[in-house]
Amino acid sequence: MNGYVGTATSRVDGRAKVTGAAKYAGEFAADGLLHGFVVTATIPRGRITRLDASGALKVKGVVDVLTHAHRHPLADKDEAWKDEVAPEKGSPFRPLYDDSIKFNDQPIALVVAEDWETAKFAATLLDVAYQEEPFATDLEAERGSATEVQKPHEPRGDAAAALAGAAIRHEADYLVPTEHHNPMELYATTAVWEVDRLTVYDKTQGVQNVQKFLCSVFGKTPDEIRVISPYVGGAFGSGLRPQYQVVLATLAALQLKRSVRIVLTRHQMYGLGYRPETIEHVGLGARPDGTLDAVVHEAIAVTSRYEEFSRNDTGWAEQLYKSANSRYSHQLVRLDVATPCDMRAPGAASGVWALECAMDELANALKLDPVELRLKCYSDRDQSEDLPYTSKQLRACYRQAAAAFGWSNRNPAPRSMRDGKELVGWGMATGIWEALQMPVAARIVLTANGHAEVSSAASDIGTGTYTIVAQVAADALGLPMDNITVKLADSSLPQAPVEGGSWMAASSAHAVLAAAEDIRQELARLAVAMAGSPLAGTDPADVILSEGMIAVGSDKSRSVSIADAMRSGSLERIEKEKLNHFAEDKSHARNTHSAVFAEVKIDEELGVIRVTRVVNAVAAGRILNTKTGRSQVMGSVVWGIGMALHEEAVMDHRFGRIMNANIAEYHIPVNADIHDIDVIFVDEQDEHINKLGIKGLGEIGIVGVPAAIANAVYHATGRRVRRFPITLDKLL
């Protein structure tokens, strides 16, 4: 493949996005559209004893108020509420199901009115009373009730004994606070009602997942509910599970037989999934030369009372660093909160920050350069399964990032580097993520004028799926990209899973490749069989599609135009759909890797921290598009800066309620917080992973960034902060 693949191609949907032509879930219109405003609970646990809507119903323009006592029936069984990304054990939350309150800001009513302002105003007139029950929302206070749910890897050797006997030992707890998704686009659904079907425009990372979910919750068939989500204004985990607004909009549309739109408020976004608060305990034991003998990583994370949400925070060391003894565990504390959800690099973003900060502390104790320690412990095999990697260019990541950063000029002593009134700190960390791939189908319709429409139910959550699908199709069909139209994210299109886990680039590219191969075969057959064909007698397997022609090699005299070949077969169009499965292969470990180097400058008197430079060198196999790829990693780095320095949802445990549920008080990085970000794609040929050697980029860019910054802060100040975010008060 060469041509468009691998180049810095601009987004094919860029113009639609910047001109406002791209429509998002809350922007679709419908005749007689109603607007729903969600009313949420103000206690974390208990029962609703009174919910009087009579005041709201008197307001002109209010059509109905849906509550648990007054709503269209929902499925009873837990199974009906499971979707492909929520196989968590437990009983999934069902909005307006009954009178019980399971978390603060749980939806308890939906006010539906002719316009949004009326619905919002009427919502203030609801008269609600509760019977409160004792609750717990504080992880550190409830730490003792943690139960083990997951052993990410079997223990090897005797980690406790090896740690106790180690010449150099480092043990500490690292804390990740609750972090909330703050995508630009709020959760939104427009459910367009027709007599015999619903068209649901939803903010989601997986339209077919939402379709299946709604069908099972409302007892409908797939031809009765169609889900569409052409553009997504940021998601990265928040749009994986179908969220409650899509249930409520569907419920209201079916009950009222009208089209209904619900857009949650920014505050209400905090009543949904988040990165769980986690205590990460890491223990490392080493010999004086830096050889690791023991790795212990135990995570204690928050989940809700009603579901077990657990991701793999620990165990990453098993893949990165050689150690004869290791033990990992993942424990959960059940609290009266909403269930957490995936958030960019779930598990790794949290777990690797702890591991990589601990490695930095160990390097200091050993008086070793932190890069050197990592090279000393470098593992060419995944120790958990004792497997080689399909590819692992992590050494090159360290080397290239260090060179670009100028790491050799670092004075290792803390507080040794300055720039005027600012202390300068240089820190580094490793990143790792999985290279996953899933079955995806694509359909290609080629018309005799040499245009192709490529379609799949796959989403583009802003990552660039439209663009890479067009690039791969153009190359595979030998057509200019302008001749390719891509349609995505409609449940009526060919099969695709949710876009997540960094698997969509590899998965969708190979689906397109498979469908294009069927097109090639059909064109080859036609071209060879054509009367007087210059390709007569050619083995169709040798026929290629290149520069709009059906050809053999580069010999222009031996080629046939697509139009001629299709005319010879009396075809106006050729349509091929293919579901691509990747071969099952357990012979290799599959991961992406990165090395992150960060510079911070800290005002010595005020403690103000600026991240002035980040170099992130990523090895992720073949990069389909260096422009959209670079943008993904840059976005991830910004999020990593947020994780290290800004983000924290603060709960008032007296009320079990988040105090800063808005983006004025929940801090995320703004433009002024972002300085130089340098993304390096390390050359990594991968012959094992899949035909094109693609590994995926969605998550790897954030992993390692928070630790590199924390390590830089230590280097600048000599102050080790093990509790995110590193705000200035922690340095004074």
Annotated catalytic residues are 699
Indicate whether 276 belongs to the interface with ligand MOS (CB under 6 A).
no
Indicate whether 704 belongs to the interface with ligand MOS (CB under 6 A).
no
- Cα–Cα distance measured from residue 231 to residue 203, given in angstroms and rounded to the nearest whole number: 8
Which residue, 349 or 565, is less far from ligand MOS as judged by CB? Answer: 349
Q: What is the largest CA-CA distance in the chain?
A: 86
Indicate whether 497 belongs to the interface with ligand MOS (CB under 6 A).
no
Beta carbons within 10 angstroms of residue 231's beta carbon: 22
Which residue, 343 or 682, is less far from ligand MOS as judged by CB? Answer: 343
Beta carbons within 10 angstroms of residue 117's beta carbon: 12
Nearest to 477 by CA among 514, 508, 441, 526: 514
CA distance readout (Å), 429 to 314, 432, 576, 618, 673: 16, 10, 46, 12, 20
Interface residues for ligand MOS in 231-250 (CB under 6 A)?
236-237, 240
CA distance readout (Å), 52 to 46, 103, 108, 421: 17, 21, 12, 61
Stretch that binds ligand MOS, among 59-67, 89-97, 343-351, 377-385 (CB under 6 A): 343-351
- Minimum CB–partner distance for residue 705 and ligand MOS (Å): 15
Each residue 187-226 as x (binds ligand MOS by CB under 6 A) or -, in order, gives: ------------------x---------------------
Q: What angle do CA 35, 39, 43 make, to 5 degrees?
A: 170
Which residue, 85 or 332, is less far from ligand MOS as judged by CB? Answer: 85
- Minimum CB–partner distance for residue 466 and ligand MOS (Å): 17
User: What is the DSSP track for 396-418?
Assistant: HHHHHHHHHHTGGG---STT-EE
Among 95, 233, 425, 501, binds ligand MOS (CB under 6 A): 501
Name the strands in the sheet holding 543-546, side by side, starting at the edge strand that comes first in the sequence: 543-546, 549-552, 559-561
Among 343, 488, 566, 643, binds ligand MOS (CB under 6 A): 343
- Cα–Cα distance measured from residue 210 to residue 244, given in angstroms and rounded to the nearest whole number: 11
Which residue, 280 or 699, is less far from ligand MOS as judged by CB? Answer: 699
Indicate whether 599 belongs to the interface with ligand MOS (CB under 6 A).
no
- Minimum CB–partner distance for residue 346 and ligand MOS (Å): 5
Indicate whether 639 belongs to the interface with ligand MOS (CB under 6 A).
no
Residue ranges in 303-346 assigned as alpha helix (H):
316-320
- Minimum CB–partner distance for residue 523 and ligand MOS (Å): 37
Stretch that binds ligand MOS, among 337-345, 442-450, 613-621, 625-633 (CB under 6 A): 337-345
Stretch that binds ligand MOS, among 177-185, 342-350, 655-663, 717-725 (CB under 6 A): 342-350
Which residue, 346 or 351, is less far from ligand MOS as judged by CB? Answer: 346
Interface residues for ligand MOS in 668-687 (CB under 6 A)?
none
Scored b (16 or more CB within 10 A) or e, 338-367 reads bbbbbbbbbbbbbbbbbbbbbbbbbbbebe
- Minimum CB–partner distance for residue 499 and ligand MOS (Å): 7
Beta carbons within 10 angstroms of residue 155's beta carbon: 14
Among 179, 342, 684, 686, binds ligand MOS (CB under 6 A): 342
Stretch that binds ligand MOS, among 326-334, 338-346, 409-417, 524-532 (CB under 6 A): 338-346
- Minimum CB–partner distance for residue 635 and ligand MOS (Å): 12
Stretch that binds ligand MOS, among 258-266, 285-293, 339-347, 615-623 (CB under 6 A): 339-347
Indicate whether 11 belongs to the interface with ligand MOS (CB under 6 A).
no
- Minimum CB–partner distance for residue 345 and ligand MOS (Å): 7
Indicate whether 344 belongs to the interface with ligand MOS (CB under 6 A).
yes
CA end-to-end distance (rounded Å), the chain: 55
- Minimum CB–partner distance for residue 260 and ligand MOS (Å): 27
Which residue, 239 or 285, is less far from ligand MOS as judged by CB? Answer: 239
14, 88 in Cβ contact below 8 A? no
- Minimum CB–partner distance for residue 343 and ligand MOS (Å): 6
| Residues ≥6 apart with Cβ < 8 Å to 555 | none
Size of the site for ligand MOS (CB under 6 A): 11
431, 633 in Cβ contact below 8 A? no
Which residue, 507 or 717, is less far from ligand MOS as judged by CB? Answer: 507
The DSSP call for residue 244 is H
Name the strands in the sheet holding 225-228, side by side, starting at the edge strand that comes first in the sequence: 62-67, 107-113, 34-40, 260-263, 188-194, 197-202, 225-228
- Minimum CB–partner distance for residue 115 and ligand MOS (Å): 33
Stretch that binds ligand MOS, among 15-23, 56-64, 131-139, 336-344 (CB under 6 A): 336-344
Which residue, 236 or 724, is less far from ligand MOS as judged by CB? Answer: 236
Interface residues for ligand MOS in 345-374 (CB under 6 A)?
346
The DSSP call for residue 478 is T
Indicate whether 273 belongs to the interface with ligand MOS (CB under 6 A).
no
Indicate whether 290 belongs to the interface with ligand MOS (CB under 6 A).
no
28, 226 in Cβ contact below 8 A? no
| Residues ≥6 apart with Cβ < 8 Å to 729 | 607
Which residue, 344 or 593, is less far from ligand MOS as judged by CB? Answer: 344
- Cα–Cα distance measured from residue 98 to residue 428, given in angstroms and rounded to the nearest whole number: 50
Q: Which residue has the tokens 């040798």?
A: 542
Q: How far from the centroid of its chain's Cα atoms is residue 39's Cα?
A: 28
Q: What angle do CA 385, 386, 390 make, to 5 degrees?
A: 90
Among 290, 427, 478, 500, binds ligand MOS (CB under 6 A): 500
- Contacts with ligand MOS by CB under 6 A lie at 205, 236-237, 240, 342-344, 346, 500-501, 698
